[in-house]
Amino acid sequence: MRSGARWIAVVAGVALVVALVLLQRGGETPAKRTLDSDPSARTATLSVLLRDLDGVPLRGARVNATRARLWDPHPEGPEAISDATGRARFASLGPGDWVVHIEGLLSKGVTLETKRDAVIGFTVPPIARVEGVVVDETGTPLRGASVRIHKDRSGELREVAATGADGQFAFDVIALDCPVSASCPGHAPSRPVKVEVFGGETVAIRFELTVAPFSVSGVVVDSKGRAVAGARVVATRHDGRTWNEHSDERGAVTLDGMLAGILSIDGFDAAHGAGNLTVTVPPGGMTGLELGLGMRPGLEAEVVSASGGPVEGARVLVSTGSAKWVVFSNAEGRVVLRGLPAGRHRVEIIHPEHPPLRDTVEVRADSAEPARFVVPDAVLLRGEIVDESGRPLSDMLVVVVDQVPVPITDRRGAFVLPVPAGGTVVDIHAPELLATPVLQGVDVRPSAGICRIVVPTYCLPSAHIRAVVKRPEGYEDEALRIALWHEWHKIPSVVRGVSRDALLRFGPLPPGRYSIRAYGRHSPFNNARVAEILISPGQNIDLGVLSVPDPVVPELRARTTEGHSIRELRGFLVPRGRKQPVLNLGLRDGRTSWDPPLEAGEYRLLVDDGEGYRGTEQLVTLRAGPPNRIELVLQSR
């Protein structure tokens, strides 16, 4: 025993001597030498696991890892492609905060530590695709056209794609149920087209834009605001086209045959000098422009952050009515914009690292005092989402209304979100319920600690619905889509139509009142109600066999009293004894068109006057099942 203790003491003494020698060399341990000589030792490895809603690995998905930059929805960074196991691997990422983006649609924050391997997972819903082409009236593809979606909440437009040289565009979404429109400089914008597409589907759109000339009018004045007659006005469009005109005795000038786009307007007069005005002309034209000759008032301002530092590269948009001016702040945060008319103007300042600022400014001819715009600072909000028992909720979406990206909680329920210093309001979604928040209007504010959001148990998705959908006789091969509606919001869970009975599964779902509806892209089943149910937290409902009801299908035929067939007709169906709802029923190129779904019952059919015939009114009875044949004989004229 004494001999063993003696050997232990000897070994400890040798180790102590080695440690003292290393300290005399400046503490250069092998681990330190490795960190200094091998840069990879200061990095971390990140693995991203991708699964669909059924838990199947996703192969070939594009994954980007980017540094967490404030208010930058599409930053650049290393890219990886998921393999057959659904794994995308980043081998050499530096420590710190990162954001992982999946196909530019979903994102999740993660904090990496040196020499630590991190793993995060995504539950990715099926991706839908919207594609199409933008052409002019002759069918020629339009390059540089902008495709926008109309936001449901605010009504604002958000650009999602731009066309290439072939006029083609495409963009991916998780689900989309809103209008889409296209615009191109020099052309009138298209009418919004309602697009409804769900995960895994592809929809094609064709936009045809027309060139619609219009007028731009205004007045030419001198430095004191008095009208200048006979001044020469030259307007130059961004593509080089020019228009020339002279002001009349009242100083008024009108430029006809104009096109939408950026317009530089120059004015010249021997007695009063020259002046310039740059405006963005919308389709439809502009009125009330004021072109000043000689010295004109303008805007001098500085853009600073709430902490007092200058903000470089801020986009400053000044607008009055339909007239707009755009300028960017320099390295000192200064903005100079000449040629502005006197009066009150709206100002919007946008910078990728700050929340937007909207303000007004008064421009006066006798004021040289520069304006000062203070944009709010933004901070990274670190938070976590848990249930009432404190259990972390992973894969929950934290959505700032009308903003991107959408941070997703990791397996610890944690998320990182750039927000204004004063806080913001977010909605909390479950990944399967992208259109319906499980918790809405949560006020989050940055603090020194972690912002904790507790989701009540009754809000958590825990219920499941199961049913077998049976089609009506004669529609066995109809490509139906079955959707579940939660009160006012549609949940984007879809079953594609097949030629056999389809097994329908929904869940997990939050509690509430639901309706199951059937859709067909070109069928009488559009929005047909199949069932109404009320579910409680954690309830599992087996509805058995759900039969889609027989549709009500009208089949219209019309001719004149002289025997001529009518191929175009416009009419309305009014339920007997009621004034609403009024439904369209008519003929288009000889085919019956109507607003589905129709309910069985008695209707008054009102037919408008048309080319070669007079309108009429008659009672019709519509029944579910076989098509209802309606014969109309209209008085010739």
Residue 215: per-residue pLDDT = 80
CA 239 to chain centre: 30
pLDDT band at 373 (very low <50, low <70, confident <90, very high): very high
Dist. CA 319–CA 323, nearest whole Å: 6
Residue 368: per-residue pLDDT = 60
Dist. CA 183–CA 172, nearest whole Å: 19
Assigned CATH class of 378-459 = mainly beta
The winner for highest mean pLDDT among 153-167, 381-395, 502-516 is 381-395
pLDDT band at 564 (very low <50, low <70, confident <90, very high): confident
Judged against a pLDDT cut of 80, whether residue 330 lies above it is answered with: yes
Tens of pLDDT along 570-584?
888 888 776 655 677
How far is the CA of 506 from the CAs of 464, 491, 514, in angstroms?
6, 9, 11
Average the pLDDT over each of 144-148, 329-333, 587-591 and give the range with the smallest value: 587-591
End-to-end CA distance of the chain: 126
CB 598, CB 578: distance < 8 Å: no
Q: What is the mean pLDDT of residues 604-626?
A: 84
3-state secondary structure of 2: helix
pLDDT band at 379 (very low <50, low <70, confident <90, very high): confident
pLDDT band at 53 (very low <50, low <70, confident <90, very high): low
pLDDT band at 39 (very low <50, low <70, confident <90, very high): very low
| C-alpha R_g of the chain | 33
pLDDT band at 404 (very low <50, low <70, confident <90, very high): very low
CB 423, CB 443: distance < 8 Å: yes
Assigned CATH class of 463-547 = mainly beta
521 or 164: which carries more pLDDT confidence?
164
Residue 215 CB neighbour total at 10 angstroms: 13
Dist. CA 266–CA 31, nearest whole Å: 70
Assigned CATH class of 39-123 = mainly beta
Q: Where are the domains of the chain?
A: 2-30, 39-123, 128-208, 214-292, 299-375, 378-459, 463-547, 554-634
Residue 37: per-residue pLDDT = 42
Do the first three CATH levels of 214-292 and 463-547 match, i.e. the same topology? Answer: yes
Closest by CA position to 265, among listed 283, 281, 249: 281
Dist. CA 64–CA 434, nearest whole Å: 22
- Residue identified by tokens 């196909």 is 103
Angle at 325 between CA 343 and CA 214, to 5 degrees: 95
Dist. CA 418–CA 204, nearest whole Å: 35
Angle at 408 between CA 403 and CA 414, to 5 degrees: 120
pLDDT band at 293 (very low <50, low <70, confident <90, very high): confident
Closest by CA position to 124, among listed 99, 106, 101: 106
268 or 448: which carries more pLDDT confidence?
268
Judged against a pLDDT cut of 80, whether residue 437 lies above it is answered with: no
Residue 476: per-residue pLDDT = 66
Dist. CA 162–CA 154, nearest whole Å: 22
Judged against a pLDDT cut of 70, whether residue 225 lies above it is answered with: yes
Dist. CA 384–CA 444, nearest whole Å: 11
Assigned CATH class of 554-634 = mainly beta
Length reported for the chain = 637
Residue 202: per-residue pLDDT = 82
Tens of pLDDT along 253-282?
988 877 767 778 888 776 676 777 877 777
Residue 13: per-residue pLDDT = 59
Average the pLDDT over each of 32-41, 180-189, 214-223, 332-341 and give the range with the smallest value: 32-41
Q: Which CATH number fits domain 299-375: 2.60.40.1120, 2.60.40.1760, 1.10.10.10, 3.20.20.140?
A: 2.60.40.1120
List the alpha helices (DSSP H) in 43-93. Answer: none
Q: What is the mean pLDDT of the chain?
A: 75
pLDDT band at 506 (very low <50, low <70, confident <90, very high): confident
Judged against a pLDDT cut of 80, whether residue 449 lies above it is answered with: no
Average the pLDDT over each of 295-299, 436-440, 547-551, 626-630 and give the range with the smallest value: 295-299
pLDDT band at 36 (very low <50, low <70, confident <90, very high): very low
Closest by CA position to 403, among listed 92, 73, 126: 73
Judged against a pLDDT cut of 90, whether residue 303 lies above it is answered with: yes
Residue 492: per-residue pLDDT = 42
3-state secondary structure of 454: strand
3-state secondary structure 13-35: HHHHHHHHHHHHCCCCCHHHHHH
Burial 482-502 (b: 16+ CB within 10 A, else e): bbbbbeeebbbbbbebeeeeb
The pTM for the full model equals 0.36
Strand partners, 484: 491, 516
pLDDT band at 523 (very low <50, low <70, confident <90, very high): low
3-state secondary structure of 216: strand
Judged against a pLDDT cut of 70, whether residue 334 lies above it is answered with: yes
Q: What is the mean pLDDT of residues 97-112?
A: 74
Q: Say what the alpha-carbon torsion angle 234, 237, 241, 244 is, to the nearest 10 degrees.
A: -20
pLDDT band at 33 (very low <50, low <70, confident <90, very high): very low
**pLDDT > 70 fraction of the chain, expressed in percent and rounded:** 74
pLDDT band at 443 (very low <50, low <70, confident <90, very high): confident
Assigned CATH class of 214-292 = mainly beta
CA 223 to chain centre: 45
335 or 439: which carries more pLDDT confidence?
335
Homologous superfamily of the 128-208 domain (CATH):
Carboxypeptidase-like, regulatory domain (2.60.40.1120)
Tens of pLDDT along 189-219?
888 888 877 666 788 899 988 776 678 888 8
